[in-house]
Each structure stands twice: as structure tokens, then as C-alpha cells.
């Protein structure tokens, strides 16, 4: 394991790498070791980098852990011939990661790809989950916006040249930038470092082919939505929704749909798009803290 850190206080953010079955998995970690854990699961095309502004706002009270999936961020990129790039496999890697770190209970923040990854994990092992924080992470068919049409088109025809080209075009810089800027309240708050960094990583050899496999595999998440809903109804984790309501990929209707299965749920909508943390990190951090203080305390009483 290699460790790098910034600063020299107890609130240092550590940047670590751990090896899991031949994969070097990078993660960010900060906060007191004996504090309640928040597992932060990122989306596409980002990485744990998306939590860089949130972690310093919460690490005085919570232990925050944010891994990069294989093929993302600073984790290794095993060749597609050697690694099964599916959401089931990524969830399995994160499960092993959780076990190696000895995480027996945690709250989970899910965004975009983090939703199917995290929900697969806690559907299999619901005893791990304390509270659920949902930020533009979909689990309902009504949450898939019209912009998903080119991606859905490959689910039944992944080798069609024109359909495949449309998905690859989406992974160009304009498409990556769009994910950060569409629907935002104030574009000047969006650092170009975000989409520039993501695009740099997407341009690495083989990465777009890996992402194409995941776009194709996304159909299995929709298939498994009923399993997630069943887990919600049976285990009823307290849930906090912090959602950019102008997201062009995941709709507000998809956010509201969680209330059909979860009884203890709070909604907060923001005048922004897919990456709400880029504009509203402080407000989201405050909402998370209030929510966890109330619900973790109640869980301990129960």
C-alpha cells in the first residue's frame, strides 16, 4: 500500500492504493478512524475526484472513504480481455475493498454509476448500510431521461456501427463537458479542471472500449431495479436525496420515485445539473451532517 497525504493536521486527506486480486485500487480517505463511515461512490466519467470539495467539509466528524473503480481515476486499468467490466464485477471489487478495510457499517453516498454499484453491494449485504445519500443516482426507469436514447440503442444491438459511433462520440470532450455544464445555475462555478481531467483519463489506451462495455452492461442495472426496490422496502434505510433537478440524464421524477419504496426519506433539490457538488458542496455537506446526526443517533437507540 502506498500513501500520500496533503497537509499535516488530523484532517489530512490521504491518497492511498490497495491491491485487490491484481487490481490497484486507488482511494481517498479522511477523518477520525473511530467516526461514522461514509462510503463515497462516484459516477461516470468522474472518479473520487468529484468528492474533493465535499470531504474537507465533513472530515471533522466522519471517516470518508472514496474509491476509484477499476478503469477509472487513479486505479489501474486492466485490459478488457483480463477483467470483466460489468457493474456486477465492479460491485464485487468494492465489496472486497469494504471487507479489506474492515468496514462493518457505513452510510453510502451514491451518484450516477455509484448507484448501481452501491445498490448491488447493499442488496447483497444490507446489514452494512446505515443511511443512504442519493445525488443524481438513479434506480427507477422513470429516471432515465430522453438523453439516454443513444445509450439504450446499443442494449439490443451493441455492434451496430452507427449506434456504436454515437456512443463513442458522446465520450469526446464536448460530451464530457456537457455532463458538467448542462443545467448549471452558474457556469463560472464549474472548474474546467473537472471535464479536462476526466477527458484526459478517457483518452488513455483502451479506456473508451471499457466504458463502451459498461454502457452496454447498464441494461442489467435496469433489469435489477426491482431487486433494489425490494431491498428498500424490506430494510428501509433512512435516505437523503440531494439532487440537481436540471440533470439532463437523470430526471427529478426518478428522484421522487424513491419515496414509493422508502418511508424515511428527505428531498433537497438544487438549481443545477448532474454534478451538483460542483456548485453546492457546502449546502449538501450541511444537509448530510444534519441528516446523519439525526438518523445515526436514532439507529443507535433502536
Please give the positions annotated as active site. 274
Answer whether 24's CB lies under 8 Å from 75's CB: yes
Report the alpha-carbon distance of residue 212 to residue 146 in Å, rounded. Answer: 19
Three cell numbers written together for 291 = 441528516
Q: How many CB atoms lie within 10 A of CB 165?
A: 11
For residue 80, count other CB atoms closer than 10 A to its CB. Answer: 15
How far apart are alpha carbons 197 and 73 in whole angstroms? 9
Residues with Cβ within 8 Å of residue 169, at least 6 apart in sequence: 175
Residues 6+ apart with CB under 8 A from 203: none
Nearest one of 91, 90, 104, 100 to 37, comparing CA atoms:
104
Amino acid at each position: 500500500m502506498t500513501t500520500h497525504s496533503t497537509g499535516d493536521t488530523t484532517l489530512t486527506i490521504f491518497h492511498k492504493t490497495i491491491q485487490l486480486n491484481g487490481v490497484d485500487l486507488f482511494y481517498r480517505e479522511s477523518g477520525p478512524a473511530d467516526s461514522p463511515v461514509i462510503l463515497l461512490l462516484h459516477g461516470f466519467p468522474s472518479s473520487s475526484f468529484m468528492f474533493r470539495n465535499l470531504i474537507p467539509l465533513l472530515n471533522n466528524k466522519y471517516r470518508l472513504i472514496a474509491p476509484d473503480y477499476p478503469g477509472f481515476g487513479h486505479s489501474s486499468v486492466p485490459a478488457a480481455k483480463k477483467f470483466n467490466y460489468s457493474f456486477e464485477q465492479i460491485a464485487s471489487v468494492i465489496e472486497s475493498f469494504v471487507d479489506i478495510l474492515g468496514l462493518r457499517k457505513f452510510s453510502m453516498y451514491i451518484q450516477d454509476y455509484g448507484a448501481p454499484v452501491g445498490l448491488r453491494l447493499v442488496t447483497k449485504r444490507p446489514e452494512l448500510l446505515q443511511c443512504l445519500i442519493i445525488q443524481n443516482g438513479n434506480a427507477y426507469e422513470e429516471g432515465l431521461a430522453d438523453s439516454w436514447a443513444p445509450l439504450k440503442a446499443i442494449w439490443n444491438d451493441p455492434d451496430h456501427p452507427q449506434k456504436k459511433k454515437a456512443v463513442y462520440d458522446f465520450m469526446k470532450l464536448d460530451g464530457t463537458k456537457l455532463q458538467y455544464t448542462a443545467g448549471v445555475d452558474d457556469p463560472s462555478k464549474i472548474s474546467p479542471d473537472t471535464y479536462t481531467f476526466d477527458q484526459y483519463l478517457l483518452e488513455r489506451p483502451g479506456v473508451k472500449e471499457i466504458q463502451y462495455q459498461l454502457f452496454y452492461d447498464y441494461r442489467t442495472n435496469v433489469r435489477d431495479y426491482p431487486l433494489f426496490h425490494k431491498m428498500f422496502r424490506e430494510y428501509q434505510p433512512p435516505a437523503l436525496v440531494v439532487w440537481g433537478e436540471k440533470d439532463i440524464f437523470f430526471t427529478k421524477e426518478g428522484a421522487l420515485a424513491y419515496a414509493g419504496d422508502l418511508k424515511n426519506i428527505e428531498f433537497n433539490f438544487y438549481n443545477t445539473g448532474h454534478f451538483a457538488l460542483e456548485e453546492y458542496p457546502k449546502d449538501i455537506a450541511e444537509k448530510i451532517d444534519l441528516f446523519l446526526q439525526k438518523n445515526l443517533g436514532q439507529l443507535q437507540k433502536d
